[in-house]
Amino acid sequence: MNILIIAAIVGVLALVFALYKASFVGKQDEGSDRMKEIAGHIHDGAMAFLKREYRSLIIFVVALFIILGIGISFKTAVCFLIGALFSVCAGYIGMNVATKANVRTANAAYQHGMGKALDIAFSGGAVMGLCVVGLGIIGISILYYIFQDANIITGFSLGASSIALFARVGGGIYTKAADVGADLVGKVEAGIPEDDPRNPAVIADNVGDNVGDVAGMGADLFESYVGALLSVITLGVVSHAEAGVSYGIGIAAVGILASVVSMFFVRGDKNPQKALNMGTYIASIITIIVSAILANHFFGDLKFFIPVIVGVCVGLIISKITEYYTADQYKPVRHIAKESVTGDSTNIIAGLSVGMMSTVGPIIVLAIGIILAYNLSGGTTEAIDGLYGISLAAVGMLATTASTIAVDAYGPIADNAGGIAEMCELPEEVREITDSLDSVGNTTAAIGKGFAIGSAALTALSLFVSYIQTTGLTGIDISKPAVIAGTFIGGMLPFAFSALTMSAVGNAAGAMIDEVRRQFKEIPGIMEGKAAPEYAKCVDISTGAALKEMIVPGMIAVIVPILVGVLIGTEALGGLQAGALITGVLMAIFMSNAGGAWDNAKKYIEGGAHGGKGTVAHKAAVTGDTVGDPFKDTSGPSLNILIKLITVVSLVFAPLFIHFGGILL
Cβ proximity to a second copy, 214 vs 235, nearer residue: 235
What's the sign of the alpha-carbon dihedral 457, 459, 465, 467? Answer: negative
Write out 579-615 in H/E/C secondary structure. Answer: HHHHHHHHHHHHHHHHHHHHHHHHHHHHCCHHHCCCC
- Please report how close the Cβ of residue 494 comes to a second copy at its closest, in angstroms: 9
- Please report how close the Cβ of residue 389 comes to a second copy at its closest, in angstroms: 9
Cβ proximity to a second copy, 439 vs 626, nearer residue: 626
Cβ proximity to a second copy, 268 vs 361, nearer residue: 361
- Please report how close the Cβ of residue 476 comes to a second copy at its closest, in angstroms: 5
Give yes or no for a contact between 122 and 406, defined as CB atoms under 8 angstroms apart.
yes
Cβ proximity to a second copy, 293 vs 360, nearer residue: 360
Angstrom CA distances, 66 to 73, 75, 76, 567, stand at 10, 12, 11, 22
- Please report how close the Cβ of residue 164 comes to a second copy at its closest, in angstroms: 22
Amino acid 72 reads I
CB-based burial, 433-471: b 16+ in 10 Å, e otherwise: bbbbbbbbbbbbbbbbbbbbbbbbbbbbbbbbbbbbbbb
Q: Which of 482, 527, 283, 554 is nearest to 399 (CA)?
A: 283
Cα separation of 493 and 573, whole Å?
Answer: 13
Q: Which of 593, 587, 636, 625 is nearest to 337 (CA)?
A: 625
Start-to-end Cα distance in the chain:
44
Cα separation of 191 and 177, whole Å?
Answer: 19
What's the sign of the alpha-carbon dihedral 78, 80, 81, 86? Answer: positive
Cα separation of 193 and 582, whole Å?
Answer: 42
Cβ proximity to a second copy, 40 vs 343, nearer residue: 343
Cβ proximity to a second copy, 48 vs 357, nearer residue: 357
Q: What are the DSSP calls for 143-187, one per residue?
A: HHHHH--HHHHHHHHHHHHHHHIIIIIIHHHHHHHHHHHIIIIII
CB within 8 Å of 477: residues ≥ 6 apart? 483, 571
Cβ proximity to a second copy, 296 vs 345, nearer residue: 345
Cβ proximity to a second copy, 271 vs 375, nearer residue: 375
- Please report how close the Cβ of residue 453 comes to a second copy at its closest, in angstroms: 13
Cβ proximity to a second copy, 294 vs 350, nearer residue: 350
Cβ proximity to a second copy, 259 vs 583, nearer residue: 583
CB-based burial, 332-344: b 16+ in 10 Å, e otherwise: bbbbbbbbbbeeb
- Please report how close the Cβ of residue 113 comes to a second copy at its closest, in angstroms: 39
For the beta carbon of residue 383, count every other beta carbon within 10 angstroms: 14
- Please report how close the Cβ of residue 650 comes to a second copy at its closest, in angstroms: 13
- Please report how close the Cβ of residue 433 comes to a second copy at its closest, in angstroms: 32
Cα separation of 464 and 561, whole Å?
Answer: 13
Cα separation of 581 and 487, whole Å?
Answer: 10
- Please report how close the Cβ of residue 292 comes to a second copy at its closest, in angstroms: 23
Cβ proximity to a second copy, 28 vs 358, nearer residue: 358
- Please report how close the Cβ of residue 373 comes to a second copy at its closest, in angstroms: 8
- Please report how close the Cβ of residue 201 comes to a second copy at its closest, in angstroms: 16
Cβ proximity to a second copy, 475 vs 612, nearer residue: 475
For the beta carbon of residue 27, count every other beta carbon within 10 angstroms: 8
Cβ proximity to a second copy, 65 vs 374, nearer residue: 374
Cα separation of 257 and 399, whole Å?
Answer: 10
Give yes or no for a contact between 259 and 400, defined as CB atoms under 8 angstroms apart.
yes
For the beta carbon of residue 517, count every other beta carbon within 10 angstroms: 16
- Please report how close the Cβ of residue 158 comes to a second copy at its closest, in angstroms: 21
Q: Which of 108, 191, 206, 265 is nearest to 419 (CA)?
A: 206
Cβ proximity to a second copy, 56 vs 391, nearer residue: 391
- Please report how close the Cβ of residue 623 comes to a second copy at its closest, in angstroms: 5
Amino acid 340 reads S
CB within 8 Å of 518: residues ≥ 6 apart? none
- Please report how close the Cβ of residue 238 comes to a second copy at its closest, in angstroms: 14
Q: Which of 387, 375, 395, 396 is nearest to 239 (CA)?
A: 387
Cα separation of 251 and 17, whole Å?
Answer: 19
Dihedral pair phi/psi, residue 474, rounded to 5°: -85, -10
- Please report how close the Cβ of residue 149 comes to a second copy at its closest, in angstroms: 23
* Residue 213 DSSP one-character state: I
- Please report how close the Cβ of residue 194 comes to a second copy at its closest, in angstroms: 17
Cβ proximity to a second copy, 488 vs 660, nearer residue: 488
Dihedral pair phi/psi, residue 268, rounded to 5°: 130, 150
Give yes or no for a contact between 185 and 517, defined as CB atoms under 8 angstroms apart.
yes
Cβ proximity to a second copy, 124 vs 574, nearer residue: 574
